[in-house]
Chains A and B, each alone.
Chain A
Amino acid sequence: MLTIENLHASVADKPILKGLNLTINAGEIHAIMGPNGAGKSTTGYVLGGRPGYDVTEGTATFDGQDLFALEPHERAAAGLFLGFQYPVEIPGVSNLQFLREALNSQRKARGEEPLSGGEFLKLAREKSALLKMDMEMLKRPVNVGFSGGEKKRAEMVQMGILNPKLAILDETDSGLDIDALRICGEGINAIMRAPDKAVLLITHYQRLLDYVKPDFVHVLAGGRIVKSGGPELALELEEGGYEGVAA
């Protein structure tokens, strides 16, 4: 589904990613772990197409397409979803209005019919119930006045509504209490555990991986993947820290 080869990327001319290789197949869940400053969030932003994150070398192929040739909204329509570590507040724009426009823009780009108001509300109700989020919150402006945990749950509701093929989730577990962590973890499984979908979890901690069991764990350090393994690697890191592995 996603093949990244020799990816180099810079932010403000400072090289952050230095030869990252990663292949994610349909049906797989991958976790990237690593110390602060290793390039974890940069990986997500580069794949999402954030302005200011410049690819200087290497390729990424998503579902047979050259990912870097697509604009951010085209990547979304192609099925790539980026869960933000810090979801952005947008005053005055309601979640429902924004999500309906976003979903119908994606559908239009794929040559599908737009959802009617009624169909959309049914979908939104179903996905908020899945994340145990009050529908009333979706009538409020995007992320404005939401607590850290509510923002992350709202991200998962968005993911449920937009129904991507590949979700890259940047520290979805940060800022969550124990109950919210479980709800988000179960939400990720319900929405994304499917033979035709894949997930890339970016995280510091094992705790999210207790709920969303990864098939592969990678250690990112110095802008490259320095070690890959199965779920047991996350446990080793939890015990021994990154120092031993990254050295």
Chain B
Amino acid sequence: MSTQTLAPTSKAEDWRYADQAAVAQLWPVAAEQIAVASGDSRALSIIAREGEHHAREIAIDLADYATMDLRILNAGGAYGRVAVSVRLGRGASFTLGAAQVAGAGATLEIVTTVTHTAPDAISRQLIRSVAGAGATVSYLGRVAVEQGADGTDGEQSVRAMLLDRSAQANARPELEIYADDVKCAHGCAVGELDANALFYLAQRGLPPAAAKALMLQAFVAEAFDGAQDEDQLRALAQAALEAVL
């Protein structure tokens, strides 16, 4: 029992980029359980903006042909972590759209484990992260396809934008496949704002901060495309970006 009360260290793979001091304060993190019944749909937005440190641990169980649309805006405080583990039944569908906006020195991370337990389930994960000076943004995403989960269709799209040379991004998409006839794709890119585009916007009259804000809004907005509260998420993301620039 005592081992459960100990906070994880950076030796634990899922915690290696975490802010250990903050984790020690937050520990233990209670897991929240969400179950979506067969054929049902559920949409949820998690907005982590307030407070110095925060950590969420969410376990989602999708029964056969259940659908879940999860959106995350991880944009507050010095340390923010959202960990999601999802189990998909036959024909289930999981969509994750997540944006992280890390101000100076902050450590933000999203950790996902998506397990396809039965045939023909679909998972789509899109993560967009922005890191300011000295900030660290991470995405650790494991997609596991269990034996017999044929016809699995999984996708991970991970991009990070560094606003300063001292910013850091970690992206680790991971696949673990024990079935045949599986389609799993992942794409990953870390970059800086396009200097050509910034000059173009400036030449039309936008001051540098406004030009950057406009491009970053477009960058993170992709995570909220089609969300039921898309407008609210976009507005909150914009406010978070303005605070970083």
- Residue positions of A touching B, CB distance < 8 A: 48-51, 71-73, 75-77, 81-82, 84, 87-93, 97-99, 101-103, 105-106, 109, 141, 158, 162
Contact = CB atoms under 8 A, between A and B. Distances in A.
What 3 pairs between A and B have smallest CB-CB spacing?
A92-B218, A106-B205, A76-B205
Given A51-B195, A105-B210, A90 B203 contact: no
B219 interface: yes
Given A101-B210, A102-B205, A91 B196 contact: no
**B interface, by DSSP: helix, strand, loop or mixed?**
helix
Nearest to B225: A92
A87 B205 contact: no
B221 A82 contact: no
Interface of B: 194-197, 199-208, 210-211, 214-215, 217-219, 221-222
Contacts of A93: 214-215, 217-218
Nearest to A105: B205
B207 A105 contact: yes
Contact of B215 (A73, A84, A90, A103): A90
Contacts of B194: 88
A141 B214 CA distance: 12
A120 B186 CA distance: 41
B205 A73 contact: yes
B222 A90 contact: no
B197 A102 contact: no
Contacts of A101: 206, 210, 214
B99 to A, nearest CB: 13
A99 B205 CA distance: 9
A87 B199 CA distance: 11
A82 B206 CA distance: 14
A48 B203 contact: yes
Contacts of B203: 48-50, 72-73, 75-76, 81-82
Nearest to B218: A92
Given A73-B206, A92-B222, A102 B201 contact: yes
A83 to B, nearest CB: 10
Given A92-B219, A105-B210, A98 B201 contact: yes
Contact of A71 (B200, B202, B214): B202
16 contacts: A72-B203, A76-B202, A76-B205, A87-B200, A88-B194, A88-B197, A89-B197, A90-B200, A91-B218, A92-B215, A92-B222, A99-B204, A102-B201, A102-B205, A105-B207, A109-B205
Contacts of B215: 90, 92-93
A98 B215 CA distance: 10
Nearest to A109: B205
- The CB with the most chain B CB atoms within 10 A, among A72, A76, A91, is that of A72
Contacts of B217: 92-93
Contacts of A50: 199, 203
- The CB with the most chain A CB atoms within 10 A, among B196, B205, B218, is that of B205
Given A50-B203, A72-B199, 14 more contacts: A48-B203, A51-B195, A51-B199, A73-B205, A76-B205, A88-B194, A90-B197, A92-B217, A92-B221, A98-B204, A101-B210, A101-B214, A105-B205, A106-B205
